[in-house]
Amino acid sequence: MKKLLSVIAVAMVVSLMFPVIASACSKSTNISGTIYFNSSPVGRKVTVTITCNNHVRKIKTDRHGYYSISYPFNSCRTNSTIVVAASYNGLSGSQSGIIKKCNNRINVYIEYVTVPELGLVTGIFAMCISCGFILLIRSRILNSNI
């Protein structure tokens, strides 16, 4: 009988602990991260737009490119999709994720990628095609004279 009572007491204590564990995120969901430009943190005052369940918030980065924001838990719950976007020097980047815990870290990388001059590539391609047509026409003219 004592064993049964002790098992019931332990079960009650454990069941009382679950609401405490479950309510650890009941007040807010925190999202933070760093905005990078070409692998280095951006400076201060870069605008970061965070969207969670159609709730849009904007915040500025600190001098290290770091941002941090809190959503009320009822507007940004666990398993919600979150999108973090930022723009810097006319370029933009974004990162999305799923809220998995109370404190979430999402970094955004903005990369400047140079594209080769397409005018040069197009000009060389056009010149090759022109030479090919000239040789084709010339060979037909020479073959018709024989």
Q: Is residue 49 part of a domain?
A: yes
Q: Is the pLDDT of residue 8 over 60?
A: no
Q: Is residue 138 part of a domain?
A: no
Of the chain, the end-to-end C-alpha distance in Å amounts to 118
Per-residue pLDDT averaged across 122-130, rounded?
Answer: 86
CATH code, 105: 2.60.40.10
Q: Is residue 137 part of a domain?
A: no
Q: Is residue 8 part of a domain?
A: no
Amino acid at 108: V
Per-residue pLDDT averaged across 109-120, rounded?
Answer: 76
What sections of 23-56 are H helices per DSSP? none
Q: Is residue 94 part of a domain?
A: yes
Contact between 55 and 71 under an 8 Å Cβ cutoff? The reply is yes
Q: Is residue 18 part of a domain?
A: no
Q: How many domains does the chain have?
A: 1
pLDDT digits (tens, 9 = 90+) for 19-78: 444 445 668 889 999 999 988 898 888 999 999 988 999 999 999 999 999 998 888 888
Residue 144 or residue 12, greater confidence: 144
Q: Is the pLDDT of residue 2 over 50?
A: yes
User: What is the reported pLDDT for 52?
Assistant: 92
Q: Is the pLDDT of residue 17 over 70?
A: no
- In whole angstroms, give the CA distance from residue 124 to residue 35: 40
pLDDT digits (tens, 9 = 90+) for 78-110: 888 999 999 888 888 999 999 888 899 999 998
* Domain membership of residue 103 as a residue range: 25-110
Q: Is residue 86 part of a domain?
A: yes
User: What is the reported pLDDT for 95?
Assistant: 93
Q: What is the pTM of this model?
A: 0.60
For the chain, how long is the longest CA-to-CA vector?
A: 118
- In whole angstroms, give the CA distance from residue 79 to residue 3: 41
